[in-house]
Chain A
Amino acid sequence: MGSTILGLGHHLPAEVERAGVRRPIAVEAVGPSTLAVRAATGALAQAQVGAEAVDFIVFATMTPDVTFPGSGCFFQAQMGCDTVGALDIRAQCAGFLFGLVIADQFIRTGTHARVLVLGAEVHSSGLDYSDAGKHIAQLYGDGAGAALLGTGNGTAGVRGAAIHSDGRQHQRFWCEYPSSRQHPLRMTIDNFRRGRHFPSIDLDAVRSFGEQSLPAVIGEALAAAHTSAERVDRYIIGHVLPEVAERVGARLGAAASRVNIPAARHGHLTAAALPVALSEEVAQGRLGAGATVCLAAAGAGFAWGAAVVTL
């Protein structure tokens, strides 16, 4: 038996103007775990269960609260989910999709009944808002989304998914330092002064990879779900460049009203982008029970994927 979404929640910090654009930015000194608690509280309320009902946590982020342990542990402590397992994964912009697929396996194999999947990021504390870096910094926002997955009953649920990675172009969209491979110390004052702890992006490579990979992986997920593009009520497409998501929507032949582009509203929320956008749609009453959604994302790694979910 597959899994189904029992509840959705999201949290976006207040918008702040920085580097000439308005973005949701966590001004208070909190990490993604704290934003995720706010998102998860909404997801559990929607599912009408308490924190004690959660039997596993999957936390996707690329901006962890501290270097280690993982944000899942910090989340668990704040949420009061006792001693259930808390898996922390890194799959960058596709992190939520990877987490969703993993959670689905836990439910399919029958060992767990309610798995909380979180995608949460605090990018703003690690970006270069100076003139040298603001063209990258202004692309991002902070936020968190949560989905509580449970055992499915019939047609609703995670109906098909595909996830992929290709490390050959990892330097096109990366943050090099700290780097365990640099001896004798992985982070030096010299790296710091040169700004090597900030992310860098080859926008042309990332654009062209997104435009190639997204339509293909969406096709794959639709096939896995045994459905077709015209049955999809909404595409939610996560990419650092909103115009890439727009072009992918057009290539799929979907009217603009059927394509949700989170980065166009909030800046890129990476692992949080898809659950935030899906939760917003439901909260605003634009999608309800029975609606079929295709979630897709492509980004650093490169890692990409798509999932077809019926609410």
Chain B
Amino acid sequence: MRNSRILGLGHYVPPRVVTNNDLTALMDTTDEWIQQRTGIRERHFSDGWTGAADMGVDAAREALQRAGIAAQDIDCIIFATLSPDVDMPASACLLQDRMGISGMPAFDVRNQCSGFLYGLAVADKFIKAGTYDHVLVVGSEVHSTGLDLTTRGREVAVIFGDGAGAVLLGPEPDARRGILSTHLHADGKFAEKLWLESPASRARPRLTEEMISGDDPRVFPKMEGRYVFRHAVTRFPEVIREALDANGLAPSDLALLIPHQANLRISQMVAMGLELPEEKVFNNIQRYGNTTAGSIPIALYEAVAAGRVHDGDLVCLAAFGAGFTWASALMRW
């Protein structure tokens, strides 16, 4: 059975930079408070009529160009987002429309912070099974239109940023290279520890004026931060070790770990737990905040561009977030 590998990477972040100091004009917070707890200095917010697919198109075009693959040769499109352009259909269909291509299956993956890795795992299996040759995986989020940018919402609002990343996955005949394995998990017992409730099909009716603009609006994400932190620092190392164990490898074999950029303090604790030196862990949350499904492909893109990934390197991608869901992918570059 063949493997899959990344043929090309692309990314897009909207041009407008919002610093922590910029946020102090909207809510009672400080640059020091945000940096101390999250490591974030600034993030990017989109403007105008820009949705997840609009940003995803730019990331996808760059990935195709770097892979040397034409858009019409994509066999399948997997779009990971929790901030879709419209309620339905999937943002993957809007991406198809914007790129002027049609016919190949296009669907969304809705697995929050682990969305990109869930999408990558599905893409990997499509290629391994020989079903498709070229699968485009996009992770893109426009968080800025779904945040409570007031003092009431500050605990969550300061964390998130907008951004998109994309990879074009293709076949790798050498079983020792490319994506070696993927590992996907979830534990829905904690679904309401980090969530966005409304619209909610389980409510009667699904959406009301009260949910949108009442004293306790339900249309913004909510998080029990300490709870999420505690689970993240357990599940991240666990799923990274699971990937290494599955391939008979150890943390010391890793050339680079790219954790989902949820919080710099989480990444630092994970690195410490695995005894990985700072130069073997890539972080860029300082400049982008948490871009959920966008974070791993953006970080991988920057790591490659910065010369941090070399031919033959063992690279681990890992994520943890809402659901809770968590995942890892181990690849030989």
Contacts and interface: CB of A to CB of B under 8 A. Distances in A.
B83 interface: yes
A32 B201 CA distance: 8
B49 A188 contact: no
A29 interface: yes
A166 B102 contact: yes
A88 interface: yes
B85 to A, nearest CB: 5
Q: Which of A30, A90, A303 has its CB near the most chain B CB atoms (within 10 A)? A: A90
A181 B148 CA distance: 16
A305 interface: yes
A303 B96 contact: no
Contact of B128 (A90, A109, A181, A300): A109
A109 to B, nearest CB: 5
Contacts of A125: 201-206
Contact of A122 (B52, B82, B105, B201): B201
B145 A69 contact: no
A77 B106 contact: no
Contacts of B105: 91, 98, 101, 163-165, 303, 305
Contacts of A29: 202-204
A69 B126 contact: no
B111 A176 contact: no
Contacts of A208: none
Nearest to B221: A68
B86 A177 contact: yes
Interface string A199-216: 100000000000000000
Contact of A302 (B93, B200, B201, B203): B93
Contacts, number: 284
Contacts of A62: 88-89
Interface residues of B, number: 82
A72 B188 contact: yes
Contacts of B54: 181
Nearest to A184: B145
Q: Which of B141, B194, B221, B323 has its CB near the most chain A CB atoms (within 10 A)? A: B323
A111 B182 CA distance: 9
B159 interface: no
A267 interface: no
Given A66-B196, A73-B188, A87 B109 contact: yes
Given A68-B322, A69-B112, A126-B207, A76 B202 contact: no
A301 B106 contact: yes
A29 B84 CA distance: 25
A109 B325 CA distance: 22
B323 A90 contact: no
A227 interface: no
Contacts of B50: 181, 183
Contact of B94 (A110, A167, A187): A167
Contacts of A192: 207, 209, 212
B97 interface: yes
Interface in B18-63: 46-52, 54
Interface string B78-113: 000011111111101111111000111111111110
Interface string A163-194: 11111101001111111111111111100100
A38 interface: no
B131 interface: yes
Given A177-B86, A179-B51, A182-B49, A88 B109 contact: yes
Nearest to A168: B97
Nearest to A125: B206
B144 to A, nearest CB: 7
A188 B203 contact: no
Interface in B251-268: none
B212 A188 contact: yes
A67 interface: yes
Contacts of B200: 31, 64-67
Contacts of B324: 69, 73
A3 to B, nearest CB: 11
Contacts of B209: 189, 192
B186 A106 contact: no
A287 B103 CA distance: 32
Given A91-B107, A165-B107, A69 B191 contact: yes
Contacts of A87: 109, 111, 118, 122, 184
B90 A90 contact: yes
Nearest to A31: B202
A73 B131 contact: no
Contact of B325 (A69, A77, A186): A69
Nearest to B142: A180
A83 interface: yes
Contacts of B86: 170, 174-177, 179, 181
Closest 8 CB pairs of A and B: A181-B51, A85-B184, A31-B202, A77-B188, A167-B93, A73-B188, A167-B97, A167-B96
Interface of B: 1, 46-52, 54, 77, 82-90, 92-98, 102-112, 118, 122, 125-126, 128-129, 131, 141-142, 144-146, 181-182, 184-189, 191, 194-207, 209, 212-213, 219, 221, 322-325, 327
Interface of A: 29-34, 56-57, 62-70, 72-78, 82-92, 95, 98, 101-102, 105-106, 108-111, 121-123, 125-126, 163-168, 170, 173-189, 192, 197, 199, 300-303, 305
10 contacts: A29-B202, A67-B197, A73-B188, A86-B186, A109-B128, A121-B201, A126-B199, A177-B87, A179-B51, A186-B83
